[in-house]
Every structure is written in C-alpha cells, then in structure tokens.
Amino acid sequence: MKNRHGFPENFLWGGAVAANQCEGAWNEDGKGMVLAEIDHNTQGDTKGLAFPVRDASYLAYYKNNTEMYFPKRHGVDFYHTYKEDLALLKEMGFKCFRTSINWARIFPNGDDAQPNAKGVEFYDNLIAEIRANGMEPVITISHYELPVDLVERVGGWHNKAFNDAFIRYAKFVVERWHAQVKYWVVINQINLSEIMPFEALGIWQEEGHNLWQDYYQAIHHQLVACAEVKKFAKQYPDCMIGTMNADMGAYAKTSDPDDVVATLKHNRMNYFYTDVAFRGAYPGYMLRYFEENDIHLEISEEEECLLAENTLDFCGISYYFSLCKDKTCTIRQESTVENPYLKASAWGWAIDPKGFYNCISQYYDRYEVPIFILENGFGAHDTVENGEIHDPYRVDYLKQHIEQMREAVKDGAEVLGYCMWSPFDIVSASSSQMSKRYGFIYVDYDDLGQGTGERIRKDSFYWYQKVIESNGENLD
C-alpha cells in the first residue's frame, strides 16, 4: 500500500466550455435553434443566478425576435476559431479539453430522420483537432442545448418522447466518436435544473399544476437516459460514462440540531441524483418525499432494472461556491443564508476553497468511484491595460482550490482530472454576460457582442502553464 503525496502522473489538467456558450454560428450549416439561444443579457442584474420566469409564451416571443442581442447565438465564434483557441490551450500544456456537442447541430429538430452531415463534420473536425493538440476530449452530450422545435412539438423532458429522442441522439454520438472519446458526461449538472427548469428541461410552472411533478419525471427520464447510454457503451470497453452534479452542498449555520437536520435534508436532495447513478436505485428518503408531496412518477420495472444494472463509471463535479442553511430554509437550492466566514465574488458566489476539499471528500467517501472535476473557476471583471490583463484574483482563487483538491487526493480520493471553467472567456450561462469572465485567455467582445474577438493571454495563462508543467506542485 502506498500513500498518495500528490497528483498522479496521468492527471488530466485542462479546462471546460459548453457549445452554446462559445460556438456561436447558431444558424449555420443546417443547425436548429436551442433554448439557450433565446437567453438575453440580464444587464444591471449582476447578483446571483438571475433567471426570470420563462415559459411557452416567452419562448414563442423571443425565438422570433430579431432586434435584441442574444449572446449565445454568437458565443465567441469558437465554431470558426477553434483551431486557434485549441493551439493556445496546447501552449498551456492542456491534457484534456471538455466541451459539449450541440444536439441541434446533429439533429436540428431533435428527432430528424437523418443526422445533419455538416454538424457531424464539424464535430469530426473538432474532436480530431483536440486530439491532434495532445488533449483527451471530454464530451458532454447535453449542456442546455435543447432543440426548440422538439420542445414545442412534444413538450419538455418530462415527456417520454423527448427522452427517446435524446437517447437516440446520445447513442448516435457515442457510436460515432467512441474511438476518439473516452470520457462522456451524459447530462451537465443534472441536479442544477432545479433552479433552471426551462433551460435544462424545457418545463415551466403552469397555474394550478405541480411543477415538481414534471421536474422529477424529467429527472427520472434523464437518469434512465444515463443508464441507457452506459448500457449501450458497454460494447466499447474503453469508454467511461459519467454523471455530473454541480456541488450544492451546504453547511449548517449553527450546531442547533434543527439547523443540522434542515441541512442534511437539503444535502440529500442534491445527492439523490448521484445516489441513483451509483447505487442503481431510488433512495428511501426520496420515495418518502414523493409520497408526501403528491408526486407520482411513471417508473417501469424495466427502467428499475436498467438503473440497477447500469451504474455509472465516474462522478463529475462542478464546484464554484458553498451554501449555508438554517432551520428557516427549505430543501431548495435557492433557499440559503449568508455564511459569515466567507467573502463572495462580485456575483455573490461565496468563495470557499475548503468547501472544495469538503465536496470532493463527501462524494468520494459516499461512492468510492473516480471523481472528475469538470468545472471550477472564478468569474470576474477584467480590465485590459496596455494590451495586458493582470488577474491575481483569478490565480488566488484557483490556487487555493487546487491546493484543497490536492488535500483530498492525499487522503486517497481518486481524482481523474481538473477542468477549470472556462480557459477562454465565453458567455456566462446564468447572466448571458461576456463581462463575467473566467478565462486564462481574454476574448475581446463585450456584453453586446461588440469587439474584435481578439484573444489575449492573461497573467493567469502563464501561471496555469506552470501548474500543469509541475503536475500541480508549483502553485505560486
């Protein structure tokens, strides 16, 4: 037996993006529209996760709006600049690169009889280029790229027909790229749909209707889809199929047992998704919750067997902040209290490196499956001074988080890799701003898409280069 003193030699250092936030080219080469492309800038509201109420009429209105600026239709033009961008990541020494496939590039309406050849060709080229630059591709099959046409025709993910279309698309991409892609993430942050049911699931609150009924039916379908993909991928033994949670772990605000129990109940609601993925069955606390909240899911015996026989291979995690709860809070993610020990980013996200150690340890101790850090990063306003960007705040954040990840690794947690979010600036998922920047590489666009698109290396670029070169030993 050997102690782990640091990161293993084959540790996958890299970064992550999502197609809908960077590719742009939203209506090129036969692509269909996806829900994210009607998101618009929540300017003036830079605090928290600012999602206004979104429903069918919102969708109908904005999808045909040609006057407003919809940032995710343009991204940072990665569709055309991917070669140049990947070359910069190679320069930093990236060992892996995570991105998503945009469903509507492959099947523009979600369930077309034939795949769109141009869309397939784009991902053939992109995946080949990632590999040619010495990086392991990590591919997300669904990252808020729900085809609008499918949502309008069959309804959201709570409809079985929607899930059937997704499974067909997912199997298509795994079959096509199994030889080039080892790591697959079926659904981005499966637990986070709770705060964004429209973007992630195509569902919304209707009067007199229990949203949570649709929500958990949609989640059940996603859990089934993950198991279906795993079952399908068994013919490709090199492929690893993962699930992914956004860590929404909370601390109890005090040792008052009522605060502690309220926190436990919240935390369980977040582990539910990974409990099913790794234990292969619905936990008792969830069945009780359904019963007491008038939620009646359609779950067939066949699906129960599928879940039991196809548990997943790795646990993907994104971590940005921690939450804090007391007895006044509900089990929902948005119901939190301030943690007096932590400072927050300009967007109100509590900065908590030790929470990262806590998060990795909790997941590893609970399931003992490989962990893959699929996102961690710091959104900030950057300023360009004489063509340079000095971003010590980003380096500080990442350094402290990597240190804590190393602590978890020293405890024995098996961590496959670390994808910082996002190596080059892209459009923010929650606020659709460009000015919430995460990158090591500055991209010259503003919130309204004005700019040259020029890529500029920030100070943090050179810092991460050293981190990778030293396999996480040199963090200064």
The contact set with ligand BG6 (CB under 6 A) reads 18, 21, 188-189, 192, 246, 318, 375, 379, 421, 428-430, 436
Question: How far apart are alpha carbons 448 and 47 in whole angstroms?
Answer: 19
Q: Minimum distance from CB of 261 to ligand BG6 (Å)?
A: 28
Structure tokens at 274: 């990974």
Q: Minimum distance from CB of 320 to ligand BG6 (Å)?
A: 6
In this complex, which beta carbon is closest to ligand BG6, that of residue 44 or of residue 284?
44
Site of tokens 């879940």: 307
Question: How far apart are alpha carbons 315 and 310 in whole angstroms?
Answer: 14
In this complex, which beta carbon is closest to ligand BG6, that of residue 196 or of residue 337?
196
Question: Which amino acid belongs to residue 198?
Answer: F
- Note whether 23 and 102 are within 8 A (CB): yes
Question: How far apart are alpha carbons 76 and 435 in whole angstroms?
Answer: 12
Q: Minimum distance from CB of 97 to ligand BG6 (Å)?
A: 15
Among residues 39, 54, 173, which one has the least CA distance to residue 107? 173
Structure tokens at 403: 């240190």
In this complex, which beta carbon is closest to ligand BG6, that of residue 168 or of residue 332?
332
In this complex, which beta carbon is closest to ligand BG6, that of residue 253 or of residue 458?
458
Q: Minimum distance from CB of 375 to ligand BG6 (Å)?
A: 6
**Which residues, in sequence order, are CB contacts of 396 under 8 Å at separation 6+?**
none
Question: How far apart are alpha carbons 2 and 389 in whole angstroms?
Answer: 42
- Note whether 419 and 373 are within 8 A (CB): yes
Q: Minimum distance from CB of 13 to ligand BG6 (Å)?
A: 19
Question: How far apart are alpha carbons 36 and 21 in whole angstroms?
Answer: 8
In this complex, which beta carbon is closest to ligand BG6, that of residue 358 or of residue 435?
435
Question: How far apart are alpha carbons 322 and 251 in whole angstroms?
Answer: 8
Question: How far apart are alpha carbons 17 and 97 in whole angstroms?
Answer: 8
- Note whether 155 and 294 are within 8 A (CB): no
**What values do phi and psi take at 167, rounded to 5?**
-60, -40
Q: Minimum distance from CB of 304 to ligand BG6 (Å)?
A: 29
Q: Minimum distance from CB of 100 to ligand BG6 (Å)?
A: 9
CB atoms within 10 A of CB 290: 16
Among residues 63, 73, 90, 85, which one has the least CA distance to residue 19? 73
Q: Minimum distance from CB of 185 to ligand BG6 (Å)?
A: 10
In this complex, which beta carbon is closest to ligand BG6, that of residue 18 or of residue 96?
18
In this complex, which beta carbon is closest to ligand BG6, that of residue 51 or of residue 285?
51
Question: How far apart are alpha carbons 217 and 462 in whole angstroms?
Answer: 46
Question: How far apart are alpha carbons 184 and 181 in whole angstroms?
Answer: 7
**Which residues, in sequence order, are CB contacts of 97 under 8 Å at separation 6+?**
14, 15, 16, 86, 89, 130, 133, 135, 136, 137, 138, 419, 423
Q: Minimum distance from CB of 447 to ligand BG6 (Å)?
A: 13
Q: Minimum distance from CB of 255 to ligand BG6 (Å)?
A: 31
CB atoms within 10 A of CB 342: 17
In this complex, which beta carbon is closest to ligand BG6, that of residue 350 or of residue 429?
429
In this complex, which beta carbon is closest to ligand BG6, that of residue 289 or of residue 438?
438
Which residue sits closest to ligand BG6, CB atoms considered? 430
Q: Minimum distance from CB of 374 to ligand BG6 (Å)?
A: 8
Report the SS3 class of residue 290: helix
In this complex, which beta carbon is closest to ligand BG6, that of residue 188 or of residue 222?
188
In this complex, which beta carbon is closest to ligand BG6, that of residue 159 or of residue 435?
435
